[in-house]
């Protein structure tokens, strides 16, 4: 989390009555207030098209949002905070005139609260609304102010290389790259941030971080949840656009990148982009698309994707993707990277697994070039329990000689307590102007160049029962070294 000084500002949420605001933004902002990080320095202005809400109604909504979380609040203290810091502005039909009214309201609040003109605009809207919102903010003059102005945009950023380039060009018409914060909350997980420290501050592991010692790398994001009533969004997106092109790709770059020249955002971004530019073109036989059918999760029957509300009976949208990638450079040539993501899986898990080669000529191998032991594996777990573990072999007590496998582990919760929510981290970084955990336009376009061709391929859809680990074809892909 950024340690940079927080300057007084107004935090404008575009789409303030949506799910993202309820589930992530308001709880994260309130926690930052509770911790004293934003106390006396941040005013929140919720913006949405609903005209039947005013300041008082939005404050009640904020109260209900926090009440539905596990955050303990003092009602009197919370009410005082809302009255002082929380406001609402209807955007009506979202016309240019409505945006000019929004600009007038922001000016009014800044005068009332004696704010210096520092502004954060968080676009918590569906992807199809990004362009119109950015254009209207720019045309109404809200892209500039007497202080600094920052624009935060959620993923997915574009649908392919063409749309991503078009969106970047539009945004750059009104905003400098230094003002733009393309959010990927996965990068704010403590384990992800610690990956840089783990690799580059520990000589032992950095010395092993190459093709001579690593057999393969797996990056896994599995979810027990389905589409949760978001059929309209998911039918337009699918697992490749929703997860692979952003979250898992960002994890790939951090695992595969070379040593940056420094810890600043620019230096890290340069190395991440190099990885993306070096990815070998992906072939159809290295891709598995899946879609969940009915099954059981935690003993409870769940419906298949095609039975979800709003999903067409003939939908070919993938809810699962497995990819085999190669980065044929000096460090990684010959090492496969496997990316897996899926909905309605057997468990919730986000994890990076680094598999090391078997020991050459081991005295525990009865035959030459035969590995009878499970290789050492490094696990970097992002959720549900953030931490790092290393699987290795030891001798069991007694005779005859017997080997067993154990894990040497570190968990954040055991050492530091519960880590902050990822949105607390990225919101504070956007507020303080730290772009390290955000995605640059070069990264977005470089990532899409690797995946856009897949949309033109005819990838057969494989089905897997909900509550399982995905299609059997994905297991066969994993065996392809």
Residue 390's CB: how many other CB atoms inside 10 A? 16
Which residue from 303, 324, 322, 282 is spatially nearest to 471, judged by alpha carbons?
Answer: 322
User: Which three-class secondary structure state does DSSP give residue 279?
Assistant: coil
Is-contact 159 452, C-beta < 8 A? no
Structure tokens at 85: 């810091």
Rounded distance between C-alpha atoms, residue 438 and residue 246, angstroms: 11
DSSP secondary structure letter of residue 307: G
Q: What b/e string do you get for 296-310 counting C-beta neighbours within 10 Å, with b at 16 or more?
A: ebeeeebbbbbebee
Determine how β-strand 287-293 pairs with β-strand 295-297: unpaired
Q: What b/e string do you get for 156-170 counting C-beta neighbours within 10 Å, with b at 16 or more?
A: bbbbbbebbbebbeb
**Angle of helix 249-256 versus helix 190-200 axis, rounded to 10:** 20
Q: Which residues make Cβ contacts (< 8 Å) with residue 394, sequence separation at least 6?
A: 403, 404, 405, 406
Rounded distance between C-alpha atoms, residue 253 and residue 269, angstroms: 9
Give the alpha-carbon dihedral of 66, 68, 71, 75, to 10 degrees. 60
393 sits in which H/E element? strand 387-395
DSSP secondary structure letter of residue 419: P
Which residue from 146, 216, 143, 155 is spatially nearest to 182, judged by alpha carbons?
Answer: 155
| Catalytically active residues, by annotation | 247
Is-contact 157 167, C-beta < 8 A? yes
- Per the omega criterion (within 30 degrees of 0), is the bond before 384 cis? yes
Instruction: Return phi, psi of residue 28, to 5°.
Output: -65, -45
Is-contact 266 274, C-beta < 8 A? no
DSSP secondary structure letter of residue 376: P
Rounded distance between C-alpha atoms, residue 165 and residue 38, angstroms: 35
233 sits in which H/E element? helix 231-239
Structure tokens at 188: 């704010």
């Amino acid at each position: 989390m950024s340690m940079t000084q927080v300057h007084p500002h107004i935090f404008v949420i575009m789409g303030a009555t949506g799910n993202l605001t309820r589930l992530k933004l308001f709880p994260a902002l309130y926690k930052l207030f509770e911790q004293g990080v934003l106390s006396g320095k941040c005013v929140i202005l919720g913006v949405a098209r609903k005209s039947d809400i005013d300041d008082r109604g939005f404050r009640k909504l904020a109260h209900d949002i926090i009440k539905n979380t596990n955050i303990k609040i003092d009602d009197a203290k919370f009410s005082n905070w809302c009255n002082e810091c929380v406001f609402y502005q209807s955007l009506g039909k979202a016309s240019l005139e409505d945006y000019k009214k929004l600009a007038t309201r922001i000016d009014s609040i800044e005068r009332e609260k004696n704010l210096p003109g520092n502004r954060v605009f968080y676009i918590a809207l569906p992807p199809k609304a990004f362009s119109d919102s950015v254009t209207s903010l720019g045309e109404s003059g809200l892209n500039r102010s007497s202080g600094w102005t920052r624009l935060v945009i959620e993923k997915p950023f574009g649908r392919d290389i063409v749309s991503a380039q078009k969106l970047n060009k539009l945004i750059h018409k009104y905003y400098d790259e230094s003002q733009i914060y393309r959010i990927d909350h996965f990068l704010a997980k403590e384990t992800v941030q610690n990956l840089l420290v783990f690799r580059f501050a520990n000589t032992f592991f950095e010395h092993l971080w190459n093709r001579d010692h690593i057999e393969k790398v797996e990056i896994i994001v599995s979810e027990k949840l389905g589409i949760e009533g978001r059929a309209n969004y998911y039918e337009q997106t699918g697992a490749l656009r929703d997860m692979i092109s952003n979250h898992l790709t960002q994890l790939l770059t951090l695992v595969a990148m070379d040593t940056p020249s420094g810890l600043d955002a620019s230096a890290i971004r340069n190395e991440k982009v190099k990885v993306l530019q070096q990815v070998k073109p992906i072939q159809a036989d290295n891709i598995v698309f899946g879609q969940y059918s009915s099954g059981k999760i935690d003993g409870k029957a769940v419906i298949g994707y095609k039975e979800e509300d709003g999903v067409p009976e003939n939908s070919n949208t993938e809810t699962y993707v497995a990819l085999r990638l190669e980065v044929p450079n000096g460090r990684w040539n010959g090492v496969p990277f496997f990316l897996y993501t899926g909905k309605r899986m057997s468990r919730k898990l986000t994890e990076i697994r680094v598999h090391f080669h078997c020991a050459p000529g081991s005295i525990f191998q009865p035959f030459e070039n035969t590995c009878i032991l499970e290789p050492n594996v490094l696990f970097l777990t992002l959720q549900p329990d953030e931490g790092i573990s290393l699987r290795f072999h030891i001798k069991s007590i007694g005779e005859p000689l017997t080997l067993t496998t154990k894990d040497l582990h570190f968990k954040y919760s055991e050492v530091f307590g519960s880590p902050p929510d990822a949105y607390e981290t990225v919101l504070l970084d956007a507020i303080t102007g730290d772009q390290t955990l955000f995605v640059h336009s070069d990264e977005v376009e470089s990532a899409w160049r690797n995946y856009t061709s897949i949309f033109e391929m005819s990838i057969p859809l494989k089905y897997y029962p909900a509550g399982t680990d995905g299609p059997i074809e994905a297991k066969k892909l994993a065996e392809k070294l």
